[in-house]
Copies of this chain bind each other. A is one copy, B any other.
Amino acid sequence: MTLYETLADDIESQIQKGVYRHGDRLPSVRQTSQQRQISITTVIRAYLLLESRGLIVSRPQSGYFVNLREGDGPLQGHALSTSKPIAISATVDVSRLVLSTLRSISAGDAVPLGSPYPDPTAFPFEKLNRYAYAAGRDESLRGLKDALPPGHPKLIRQIARRYLEKGMTVDPADVIITVGATEAINLCLQAVAKPGDVIAVESPTFYAMLHAIERMGMKAIEVATHPEQGIDVAALAAIVESQPVAACMVMPNFQNPLGFQMPDARKRELVEFAAKADMPIIENGVYNELYYGSAYPSSLKSYDRNGLVLHCSSFSKTLTSAYRIGWALPGRYRDQVEKLKFLNTLTTASIPQLAIAEFLERDGYEHHLRRIRKAYAQQANLMKAMVSRFFPDGTGMSGPAGGYVLWVELPPKVNAMQLYELALERGITIGPGYMFSTSDSYRNFIRLNYSSPWSAEIEQAVITVGKLAATCAR
């Protein structure tokens, strides 16, 4: 227990004992700091933690107040509303902006609030590296011959086994190993659509999906998306009725950037619609393991009776992004995807495949996942509390059910690109909303990454971005 956690627990128990009641004002940060002889930062962190637990709220210029009523809705920021994109298909050209943003994230030691990556220090890298070394001593892996698509049988078995444990039956023969989920999504898209075709996507949508569309010279059409329930199936159906749509790409669990988990009923509805419309769905499931709830979320794939769902995932968010190992379950498009894999990169390196297979077989993957899930869930609360406290009036935010990003709606006057530049000058990166759409719809939105272990530096960076946003909002 750190000092601020001890303080938070102490205040929490006083609230629960009735020492402080609903509506009471807590002692100011300065008072508590002096009373208890601890630093101001520690008190702020304790208050933020209590705020994230929903026990207190902050009111600008007034201080912190006890807030015991349940169901009072989100913190300070308002909830987001369903997106209402204009249903026009558009050519896609977001990759240059994304690449330059990712570059600036990589450069030097900017605070990576704009990063799309998970916390690399959470990866079990020493173990994987030892397994890779052992695999590298295996002479049978020195050639390419065992690495031909679909991939190394040991890893394929482990992947199928994990799905089975989670309640989804996967035939190992249906798994194709790829160079990360990026390649899986590319291959699946190419298997179901051709250049010029229109692809339906969520709004906002994860730019990796837009990239695949851009790479193939296809067009994207954005579909209204509820911030907690996901893509609006009726809106999708209306679009499909009005024009040919070759496929739909979605991220039903912990969507980047919205963080929602589609309710099971809506997942089923989407898959049933796809069957009726005979339209393939490409499902990006890379965040599935990072749920905050009590159970592993269902995949669209598990409702699929027609082989129309092409499910893609990877180990890059949970075990290591350095190995570039992903996979596809392409349903009825299996053979095309396997052939395209062969054409695109010939094979996936087998040493990292075997290293991961060893880890899955031998080393408490579940235990590892529980640890990172818990950390990300806590950090989500901290990030929400910080934004709630330090961002200008009129700020809204998502309520992530998993993953490690928060989607923040800033007051309409804020231009996220300008904010991005201002933050960068101060050594902080953020993810501007432009990256998540083919239109201008998210010019006042930003994505904040909270995967890094919480630190004073991150706290200060969030405060700085909040202040800059307030300036831009004027």
Contacts and interface: CB of A to CB of B under 8 A. Distances in A.
A120 B139 CA distance: 9
A132 interface: yes
A117 B347 CA distance: 13
B180 A149 contact: no
For the complex of A and B, 8 pairs with smallest distance between CB atoms: A129-B136, A120-B143, A106-B145, A120-B142, A215-B343, A133-B133, A182-B346, A179-B345
6 contacts: A99-B149, A121-B142, A132-B133, A195-B195, A211-B342, A215-B340
A121 B143 CA distance: 8
Nearest to A181: B346
Nearest to A316: B144
B129 A133 contact: yes
A344 interface: yes
Contacts of A96: 339
A123 interface: yes
Nearest to A341: B99
Contact of A144 (B117, B145, B349): B117
Nearest to A213: B343
A324 B343 contact: no
A351 B339 contact: no
A348 interface: yes
A438 interface: no
A320 B182 CA distance: 24
Contact of A343 (B95, B121, B123): B95
A136 B132 contact: yes
Contacts of A239: none
Interface in A332-385: 338-340, 342-352
A186 B344 contact: yes
A270 interface: no
Nearest to A128: B136
B344 A146 contact: no
A147 interface: yes
Given A95-B343, A215-B343, A106 B142 contact: no
A322 B349 contact: yes
A189 to B, nearest CB: 11
A102 interface: yes
Contacts of A322: 136, 141-144, 147, 349-351
Interface string A170-190: 000000000110110010001
A422 interface: no
Given A195-B217, A215-B340, A345 B143 contact: no
Interface string A309-328: 00000001000111110000
Interface in A73-117: 95-96, 98-99, 102-103, 105-106, 112, 115, 117
Contacts of A112: 145
Interface in A432-457: none
B117 A145 contact: yes
Most B CB contacts (10 A, CB to CB) among A146, A179, A212 go to A179
A347 B324 contact: yes
Most B CB contacts (10 A, CB to CB) among A112, A120, A143 go to A143
Contact of A186 (B99, B117, B323, B343): B343
Nearest to A350: B322
Interface in A117-159: 117, 120-121, 123, 125-126, 128-130, 132-133, 136-137, 139, 141-149
Most B CB contacts (10 A, CB to CB) among A120, A186, A316 go to A120
B342 A324 contact: no
A25 to B, nearest CB: 43
Nearest to A129: B136
Contacts of A130: 133
A15 to B, nearest CB: 39
A342 B345 CA distance: 14
A214 interface: yes
A324 B340 contact: no
Contacts of A132: 132-133, 136, 351
A224 to B, nearest CB: 26
A426 interface: no
A152 to B, nearest CB: 12
B349 A324 contact: yes
